[in-house]
Structure 1
Amino acid sequence: MPTVACNAGLRFEIVPATTALLAIDLQRDFLDPDGFVAAAGDDVSAMRAVVPNAVALIAAARAAGLTLLHTREGYAPDLSDMHPLKRERGVAGRAGPLGRFLIRGEPGHGHIAECLPAPGETIVDKPGFGSFYRTGLEDLLRGRGIERLVLLGVTTQCCVSSTLREAVDRGFRCLVVEDACAATTPELHKASIEAIYGENNLFGWVSDTRRVLAALRR
């Protein structure tokens, strides 16, 4: 089986039949200059910079026969699936250039053009940060015999880390592709990655696009 060289001299085995690539929140509201993140005053250039790596990894995973899943954070138009704490922050639902921010069905909620899911690939719509929160993701993965996850996407400190921790608590072996994830600042990204492999790789494995592609193309 192909193995990926990782941090601290470790290796992560990719078993195509039991490994899924999880592309997290590659949405216009997070990555488009007219999206939610940019409207909040954050620079999206660091996140846009990892899109080519995400594109390459998604293509290689398809070719290698991995299961592909794509997540989207978003809420019902009436915000009925948003808990009161998040509603109090008043983030989702505001009007923007791409429609109401983070509302399902609005242009900003959709995936960026470079990372559109292919026909037949699963899209997980999640009303929160973690991909397992109020979704059927765990049952879907168990039903397909998935034991290992390769994670990429945005943002490293929020939805990627939340999903990673949820997955590890459920017993999935997880590899985060460091340079296919990004945060709004390099400092947040660096701290989030270091937290993954701290304490003897507490939250799994970390590698980079070049090494993952080399393993997938064997």
Structure 2
Amino acid sequence: MENPIEDMYEGQSVPELKRKKVGLISIDIQYHDAAIGYGFFKDAKREDHSYYFDRLDDVVFPTVNKLQELFRSEGLEVIHVRIEALTADGRDRSLEHKRIGCHVPKGSKAAEIMPQVAPKDDEIVLSKTASGVFNSTNLEYVLRNLGIDQLVTVGVLTNECIETAVRDGADKGFTMYIVDEGTAALTPELHESSMKVLNGVYGYRVSAEQIIDMVKNSK
């Protein structure tokens, strides 16, 4: 069935990137969300989530790493976000995270960002205890201080923390770009559904190659 709302936004032009006004934000690519034996995958088998972990290994990790290195080489900000409580027992967690049993203790292995996309030098790392990074960290304050108003977004899960970040960022006046190959959900259907909802309304669905060209040609 055709969706007239989705059709309304198809084919919109993607806004150009502005030099020194754009940053790359990587969300939740950590052991808790991206490795068997941790977090919600603590007791899981890889074959039970083969689509997700194959996509991470074959598509997401290489794409995110490539974009990180590009932004670094261009002198642009690379920002990392992870789920991590301020305390060992997680008493500071959001009610949402307490309800769903999401607990990543401070300083734990689960809180570590995956080595394939780990921070370098003094890159900014923010810890959150809710789905929304804008709601549970000082990200907006940091971005305003940096003069950034465009965010290239990568990470997991597309239909959860990525979607929340993109919606919230758009509401706060940031131009949000969602890199298709730099994001993943547990199923292709969930990923595609979120991308269709976000594209043209809250942000812009882009390929890694689009972003690479846009960064290199930004003024």
Question: Which TM bucket (shorter chain)?
Answer: 0.7 to 0.9
Residue number in structure 2 paired with 1:214: 213
List, as ranges, runs of 4+ consecutive aligned residues in structure 1 with deviation greater than 4 Å.
none
Aligned counterpart in structure 1 of residue 153 of structure 2, from 151, 154, 164:
151
Residue number in structure 1 paired with 2:7: none
Matched AA of 2:56: M
Which structure has the highest strand share of the two?
1
Q: For 2:187 and 2:147, locate their aligned partners in 1 and report how far apart those are by CA, in whole Å.
A: 36
TM-score (norm 2): 0.85
Contact 2:22 2:149 in 1 (8 A): yes
Q: Does 1:19 align with 2:22?
A: yes
Indicate how the Cα distance of structure 1 residues 186 and 25 shifts in structure 2: closer, same or farther if over 3 A, else same: same
Indicate how the Cα distance of structure 1 residues 161 and 40 shifts in structure 2: closer, same or farther if over 3 A, else same: farther
1:133-172 equivalence runs, <5 A: 133-172=135-174
> C-alpha deviations, 1:114-162, integer Å up to 9, x for none?
1111111100111111111221111111111111111011110111111
Aligned counterpart in structure 1 of residue 92 of structure 2, from 67, 76, 81:
81
What SS class does the counterpart of residue 205 from structure 2 fall into? strand
Matched AA of 1:88: R
> C-alpha deviations, 1:56-108, integer Å up to 9, x for none?
0111111122211100012221222123343233332xxxxxxxxx2221112
Unaligned runs of 5+ in 1: 1-6, 93-101
Q: For 1:31 and 1:133, locate their aligned partners in 2 and report how far apart those are by CA, in whole Å.
A: 22
Contact 1:29 1:35 in 2 (8 A): yes
Which structure has the highest helix share of the two?
2
1:179-190 equivalence runs, <5 A: 179-190=181-192
Residue number in structure 2 paired with 1:176: 178
Indicate how the Cα distance of structure 1 residues 204 and 89 shifts in structure 2: closer, same or farther if over 3 A, else same: closer
Unaligned runs of 5+ in 2: 1-9
What SS class does the counterpart of residue 135 from structure 2 fall into? coil
Q: For 1:9 and 1:40, locate their aligned partners in 2 and report how far apart those are by CA, in whole Å.
A: 43
What SS class does the counterpart of residue 202 from structure 2 fall into? coil
Give the C-alpha shift of residue 38 in structure 1: 2.5
TM-score (norm 1): 0.85
Q: For 2:212 and 2:80, locate their aligned partners in 1 and report how far apart those are by CA, in whole Å.
A: 19
Q: For 2:164 and 2:89, locate their aligned partners in 1 and report how far apart those are by CA, in whole Å.
A: 25
Indicate how the Cα distance of structure 1 residues 172 and 87 shifts in structure 2: closer, same or farther if over 3 A, else same: same
> C-alpha deviations, 1:164-201, integer Å up to 9, x for none?
1111110001111111100111111010100012xxx1
Give the C-alpha shift of residue 19 in structure 1: 0.7
> C-alpha deviations, 1:11-53, integer Å up to 9, x for none?
2311121111111111011111222242264613333331111
Residue number in structure 2 paired with 1:62: 72
User: What is the aligned-residue RMSD (CA, Å)?
Assistant: 1.7
